[in-house]
Amino acid sequence: MTVEFGPVHSLPPEELEAASLLDTRLRVWAEIGRTQMPAATVVGMSEGAILDLDREADDPADLYVNGRHFGTGRLILVDGEWALRIESLDAPDALEQVSTDGQDDPDADD
């Protein structure tokens, strides 16, 4: 016995692909630096603590989209809120996977 199924969508494949991607929610974030420290130091931190990061103040921030390095930019203030001015975007074939648990969930709380 053979069963054949028809197409699920009525749009041509090229239109279906573009239309379905436009509403996809992506998790986007910028990383200004990292550090490592013992757990005891982390749990002992208080408000106002200062963390030394592995970058200089004038170094670019990394831009990530769904756990993949996507480019770099500079932090700027726009109407009193932080924003990222994009300086460079990675080549599509050079995207690097650098996700950690929870960071690539588009519905995760900020």
pLDDT of residue 61: 97
**Domain assignment present for 21:** no
Per-residue confidence at 101, pLDDT binned at 50, 70, 90?
very low
pLDDT by residue (tens digit) across 4-34?
766 665 656 666 666 677 888 999 999 999 9
Q: Any idea what the Cα angle at residue 70 is, between residues 67 and 105, rounded to 5°? A: 25
110 within a domain of the structure (yes/no): no
Total number of domains in the chain: 1
Binned at pLDDT 50, 70 and 90, residue 67 comes out as very high
Look at residue 88 in the predicted model and tell me its pLDDT.
Answer: 96
The pLDDT tens digits of the residues spanning 38-65 come to 999 999 999 999 999 999 989 999 999 9
Whether residue 82 lies inside any domain: the answer is yes
Domain that holds residue 83: 27-97
Residue 8 within any structural domain of the chain: no
Assigned domain for 49 exists: yes
CA distance 11 to 96: 33
H helical segments located in 1-110: 13-22, 39-43
Domain holding 41: CATH number?
2.30.330.10
